[in-house]
A and B are shown apart, each in its own frame.
Chain A
């Protein structure tokens, strides 16, 4: 049996053969190059979109969230007495949820919305006002540009303070200097204690693509207790949304189950609330991305298939020129298996070289497409490996027939072949 030296020599002669027949070899690799480029190109489009939405989620304050919102029931008929008697989602639900597993829950944000007339010395507008608690800004991914957020005592005492998003600040204080100024929210005069940084996110960086965070910059936030007590007179402290931040994403599901049972008890066994596991939702969306991957892979496979068939034809045609060479090799002692290995080595080397070129072309192709649609190019190592592995698999498969044919030649007939 031959050792690794034989493999290297086989590789060397394969390389010589390829170099000597550069035109034919390039033609043979064309299909591989295109196939690999299209697999990689397709993959990197989904990779890039995936990376982009990951960035989006980071900017939104992370995936590790479980939202609870009130659910309107009784839409199809009159609500039952039990449903009417329910108080909806309340502060109590938040406290019970936090108490459920205080080690897992890093924070809970509260949101209570109101519409109100908002007035400053410069502007008077009907606006949405958000009652929030201390954790809200961090959980939703806001950064404070000037001043401060809400303290525990602000919330506890329903302090008349406000934090403005960048757009709201611009609108109500066009000439600046609003920090510490008083605005009226409905009938309540509140002091502006904080201004938030502007938030910008364009999923695709192309002209005409709007800022996805435009509405976030319009935020006018006051303590949730202020909305409940002084604007709405709600003794039950009802809320429009609770968001639990649970850093260990894989525990969200179990937490959601226990939270559901606790809330059901609070809500007289009525389903007047719904849970939204953000991580699970994102996972589901990713699976859709995987479906695209399969489609792209299929189109790449078709290219490789076409290239492979062309390849077989070229190899079979070139085999005719090489019958005599095979005959001589057999005469001096090469067994059929050796001839087979030589042909396979050559085909696989050619495939590997073509794949490398194809990966390069694929990168260029991906760069061009993502640049055109305005998404930063994000490629994953796995896509390179997939494209390469597919090409090698097809190269191997399609090399089998010519190599097998060559190895089955009769030495006598091969030697006499003209």
Chain B
């Protein structure tokens, strides 16, 4: 299987010499196509930083990172935006939907940035809403939805441009266990359909659903454990 994520000796340092914080201190990580990986670790372990770099939101201080065959380090802001747009689908703990736009527009937004025409945008957005089980909510504002429904919309938005990688940061952190379980079931469904999934969590029971658990400690990978899923 070809690897979607491939990093070598990735480091990230915040601040300057005297007060420098070494958030990542040499990460070698590979995630293959179709894998479901849980990124775990206590707060301060560097997992948010690693996720930001994997998601091309931030650039590493040193090391190399290849995302779906694209060398990412050294790219300009515009090029990174394009990669985020087409290769990565983000799912956040707090959903981060556009509060003033209806659900359909929220799902269309990444396609708009990708330059996809109006008709195709609409059709794909509707298909995605169907996929996450919310086709009837297209014209509703996010504020009128429950947390679980909002997260489903966020997942539909993340899938908009058929990304190579789905990156979820504590996606069930703001949900009750019932809806959380439903959202996780949706993730498993998506993974079963061939989507590559990296999930950041500190909840061991969620991490247990993944095929592989990558644990970070003090900016280094502590141990990669084969999961039971």
Interface residues of A (CB under 8 A from B): 1-3, 5-6, 9, 13, 16-17, 20, 324-325, 328-338, 410-412, 415
Contacts and interface: CB of A to CB of B under 8 A. Distances in A.
B57 A335 contact: no
Contacts of A328: 92, 96, 98
B84 A330 contact: yes
A9 B81 CA distance: 19
B110 interface: yes
A412 B80 CA distance: 12
Given A16-B101, A328-B96, A328-B98, A333 B113 contact: yes
Contacts of B84: 330-333, 411
A2 B115 contact: yes
Contacts of B117: 3, 5
B29 interface: no
B57 A332 contact: no
B96 A324 contact: yes
A332 B58 contact: no
Contact of A332 (B105, B115, B118, B157): B157
Contacts of A3: 115, 117
Interface of B: 52, 55, 57-58, 77-78, 81-82, 84-86, 90, 92, 96, 98, 100-101, 105, 109-110, 112-115, 117-118, 157-158, 160-161
Contact of A415 (B57, B98, B113, B115): B57
Given A3-B117, A333-B81, A412 B112 contact: no
A5 B96 CA distance: 24
Query: Main SS of chain B's interface residues?
Result: helix
B164 to A, nearest CB: 13
Nearest to A1: B115
A336 B100 contact: no
A409 B138 CA distance: 31
Given A332-B110, A333-B113, 16 more contacts: A2-B112, A16-B100, A16-B101, A20-B100, A328-B98, A329-B98, A332-B90, A332-B109, A333-B82, A334-B85, A335-B82, A335-B113, A336-B78, A337-B78, A412-B58, A415-B96
Contact of B85 (A5, A325, A332): A332
29 contacts: A2-B112, A2-B113, A3-B117, A13-B101, A13-B105, A17-B100, A20-B100, A324-B96, A325-B98, A328-B92, A328-B98, A329-B109, A330-B81, A331-B90, A332-B84, A332-B109, A332-B113, A332-B157, A333-B82, A333-B84, A333-B85, A333-B86, A333-B110, A335-B113, A336-B77, A336-B78, A337-B78, A411-B84, A415-B57
Contacts of A16: 100-101
A324 B94 CA distance: 11
A412 B57 contact: yes
A55 B115 CA distance: 58
A331 B57 contact: yes
Query: Main SS of chain A's interface residues?
Result: helix
B81 A336 contact: yes
A334 B78 contact: no
Contacts of A325: 98
B188 to A, nearest CB: 23
> Would you list the 3 A-B pairs with minimal beta carbon distance, nearest first?
A333-B85, A335-B81, A333-B113
A2 B157 CA distance: 19
A329 B86 CA distance: 13
A336 to B, nearest CB: 6
A295 to B, nearest CB: 43
B100 to A, nearest CB: 5
A22 to B, nearest CB: 13
A285 B81 CA distance: 60
Contact of B114 (A5, A331, A333): A333
A333 B110 CA distance: 6
Contacts of A337: 78
Contacts of A17: 100
Contacts of A1: 115
Contacts of B105: 13
Contacts of B113: 2, 329, 332-335, 338
A197 B140 CA distance: 75
Contacts of B96: 324, 328, 331, 415
A334 B98 CA distance: 13
Contact of B112 (A9, A324, A411): A9
B74 to A, nearest CB: 17
A333 B158 CA distance: 11
B77 A6 contact: no
Given A325-B98, A328-B98, A412-B57, A334 B81 contact: yes
Contacts of A338: 81, 113
Contact of A335 (B52, B77, B98, B158): B77
Contacts of A330: 57, 81, 84
Contacts of A331: 55, 57, 84, 90, 96
Nearest to A328: B96
Contacts of A9: 112
A5 B118 contact: yes
Contacts of A335: 77-78, 81-82, 113
Contacts of B92: 328, 415
